[in-house]
Structure 1
Amino acid sequence: MKAAVYREHSKDPRQVVKIEDIDTPKPKANEVLIKVEAASYNYNDLWGIWGEPIKIPMPHISGSDIAGTVVEVGENVTTNIKVGDRVASHPNLTCRVCYECTSGREYDCISRKVWGFQTGPLWGGFAQYTHLPEVNVVKLPDNVSFTDAAAICMVGMTAWHMLVTRAKIRPGQTVLIMGGGSGMGIAGIQIAKLFNCDVIATAGNKDKMDKCLELGADHAVNHREADWYKKVRDITNRQGVDIIYEHIGKTVFPQEVGLLKMGGTLVSTGATTGYDSAIDLRYLFFRGTNLLGATQGTKAGLEEVIRWVSKGRIKPVIDTILPFGNMVEGHVKMADSQLFGKIVTTPQRL
């Protein structure tokens, strides 16, 4: 089969990511083999190529979000997953037996790994075929396309976990969605609107701001402007926001904390501009601020998102679909941040 493989790290994906012929994997007893029809990109794909912030198994196949067709099942597969099923990946690999997992908190499992990022050698979604444990696949409704499913899995599941599970979003709240033009931001806007919240989205230019408004955001602000947080405060009539949906990090974090209402919540799942931020601790204790972290999410959360996609209430936004032979262009484009929505590659189309 064809797979996108890299055997060394580089800041330039074009130097190291190559389409190679490798053996088609065989599923283990508890796994299914999937013919990959669509796979989408995430920022952790770049981290893997760069070799930071963590070490990963080499040689490496990236890709955490896939959708496709089951072509083989292991002998111990006991669920209703069968050959011919249309499925998508739940990329949160956990032990399933520890206290956290059996408490419904698989995202806190000490053994948790992000499939396609921390797994390998040669175990990820950017390939014509891949394998996953049966508990890490979800069935797709017939009206959800492979490309839409691949585009929503990781970001939709994580956004649901951030807003619903962690921040406990309630109807009518004011929610600030940072980076509204990213895959994470697009999912966050739409989930917040499911709860009839007043949504303020930020983006890096006017075009992306306008697209955030088209998605349903009530207001849009350019977070690249020095006084962006003042504009957010003005939109709220200086009352502040209930929830901040954060994944940008260092450049905006101190200002974000200052925008929260009394008892407000900031939930973070990333830090693309840097990790070493600072805050005024008076906001933390005087205002009773909740600072929460969130990574990945539950399989149940992913199934909720897929259900809303099938109902047309969450709409995956795809910036670009690339044939597999040109898939490295997606890494370059994502690194340049010149996109609105997700990039998808189609491994069966070279």
Structure 2
Amino acid sequence: MKAVVYDKYAPNDDYKSILSVKDIPEPTPKPNEVVFRVRAAALNYNDIWGMRGQPVPVPLPHISGSDAAGEVVAVGADVTNFKVGDRVVSHSNMSCRVCEACTDGREYDCTKRTIWGFQTGPLWGAYSEFTHLPEVNVAKVPDSVSFDEAAAASMTLLTSWHMLVGRARIRPGQTVLIMGGGSGVGSFGIQIAKLYNCNVIATGSPDKLDKLKELGADFAVDHRKPDWSKEVRQIAKPFGGIDIAFDHIGQTHWNDQLTLLKYGGTLVTCGATTGYDAKTDLRHIFFKGTNILGSTQGTKAELEQGLYWMGKKKIKSIIDSVYSFENAAEAHTKMLTGKGLVGKILLKP
């Protein structure tokens, strides 16, 4: 089978110099695994971290990709919930399933947790014609959801659902600020907040603002403007301020978000694409009783909840573009620059 492989790092982001399509053996399932044909896979920023070899070196030779959807072609002897022909999507949070956190329903807090397609390998990720995963790391895809939509949703829908529903405990009628609404997690964040009948203010670059409203945002603000937070404050004033700030941007916009939260408000964060060394005015935390919540990945049950609503057409994947394996370098460069990017980029064999 063919797969997108690299066997050295590219700290300068020269992906063409390391990525190539190679022929590797097809997987056979272990007793607890399913093998499925990959019909679509989606890019994530951890692909870039992997190719850079930072912040953690990944196993080499490496196949990236944490999101894959397709149909099952083989099952191991101990598999009980899946059969050949089932339509499935990956749940990339791989945990031990026996520690206190896992048995408490917090598999995302497992200290032995790894991300499939990022930390796994050698040669074990989504960008291959066939792949394999433990039975506990795949979920069934509703018949009304395409493979493209499922692949585009896998990690980002899970992350967004866990941030808003699992961590921030979103409630109907709240006012929610979605930072970077044009990203994969941001696009799902907007839709989840609207599913809960919230007032949604989304931010993005000027070329994405109309798209954010099409996704369901009630208001769209250019967060590249120096006074972006003042505009958000005026919009949120009739609602009493921001109840939940949904962040993955990090350093450049962190403290401004804190100032926008109402008393007892919540900032939930899953990343720091602009940097991790954020300035924090502590007065906005202790005096206002602010909740700051970290969030990463989520449970398989949360992924299945999100897929349920996708099946009901209440949430949809936003797919920006589709590339072949042979054009993987171009696809990753587009994700890195983010220019004009709204939603997910897919790779297909």
TM-score by length of structure 2 reads 0.97
Give the Cα–Cα distance (whole angstroms) in 1 for the partners of residues 142 and 179 of structure 2: 30
For 1:152, give the aligned amino acid: A
How many residue pairs are counted as aligned between the two chains? 345
Alpha-carbon shift at residue 237 of structure 1 (Å): 1.8
State yes or no: 1:300 paired with 2:301: yes
| CA distance in structure 1 between the partners assigned to 2:230 and 2:88 by the alignment | 45
Instruction: Name the amino acid aligned to 1:7.
Output: D
Task: State how far apart, in whole Å, the 2-side matches of 1:336 and 1:137 are.
Answer: 31
- Cα separation, 1, equivalents of 2:325 and 2:144: 24
- What is the CA distance between 1:51 and its match in structure 2? 1.3
Q: Which amino acid aligns with 1:231?
A: E
CA distance in 2, matches of 1:251, 1:54: 24
Letter in 1 for 2:305: E
Which residue is 1:126 aligned to? 127
The SS at the match of 1:127 is: coil
Aligned counterparts, 1:15-26, within 5 A? 15-26=17-28
Indicate the residue corresponding to 1:201 in structure 2.
Answer: 202
User: Which letter does structure 2 place at the counterpart of 1:104?
Assistant: G
Alignment correspondent of 1:223? 223
Alignment partners' CA distance in 1, 2:144 and 2:328: 26
Q: Which runs of 4+ in 1 moved over 6 A?
A: none
Shift in Å at residue 324 of structure 1? 2.1
Aligned ranges 1:37-116 → 2 under 5 Å? 37-77=39-79, 79-116=80-117
Q: Which amino acid aligns with 2:277?
A: D
The aligned amino acid for 1:20 is K
CA offset digits 1:30-85 (Å, max 9, x no partner): 111111000000111111111111221111110000000111111121x2201111
Residue 204 of structure 1 and its aligned partner are, at CA, apart by: 1.2
- Residue 236 (structure 1) aligns with: 236
The one-letter code sitting in structure 2 at the alignment partner of 1:274 is G
Matched, 1:36 2:41: no
- Aligned equivalents of 1:311 and 1:345: distance in 2? 25
Q: Give 1:240 deviation, angstroms.
A: 2.3
Task: Give secondary structure in 1 for the equivalent of 2:182.
Answer: coil
Q: Secondary structure at the match of 1:236?
A: helix
SS in 2 for 1:314: coil
- 2:264 equivalent in structure 1: 263
| Cα distance in 1 for residues equivalent to 2:143 and 2:329 | 30
AA aligned to 1:2 is: K
- The alignment yields a C-alpha RMSD, in angstroms, of 0.9
Could you tell me how far apart the structure 1 residues matched to 2:280 and 2:287 are? 13
3-state SS in 1 of match to 2:173: coil
TM-score scaled to structure 1, two decimals? Answer: 0.97
CA distance in 2, matches of 1:245, 1:288: 17
Q: Which letter maps to 2:3?
A: A
Determine the structure 2 residue equivalent to 1:317: 318
Counterpart residue type for residue 226 of structure 1: P
Q: Which residue of 2 aligns with 1:155?
A: 156
Tell me the equivalent position of 1:7. 7
Amino acid at match of 1:212: L
Question: Aligned residue for 1:273?
Answer: 274
Partners of 2:60 and 2:122 within 8 A in 1: yes
In structure 2, distance between residues paired with 1:12 and 1:233? 41
Secondary structure of the equivalent of 2:296?
coil
Deviation at 1:141, TM superposition (A): 1.5
* 5+ residue gaps, structure 2: none
Q: Distance in 2 between matches of 1:252 and 1:154?
A: 24
Distance, in Å, in 2 between the alignment partners of 1:54 and 1:240 is 39
Q: Secondary structure at the match of 2:48?
A: helix
Q: Distance in 2 between matches of 1:342 and 1:230?
A: 30
SS in structure 2 at match of 1:107? helix
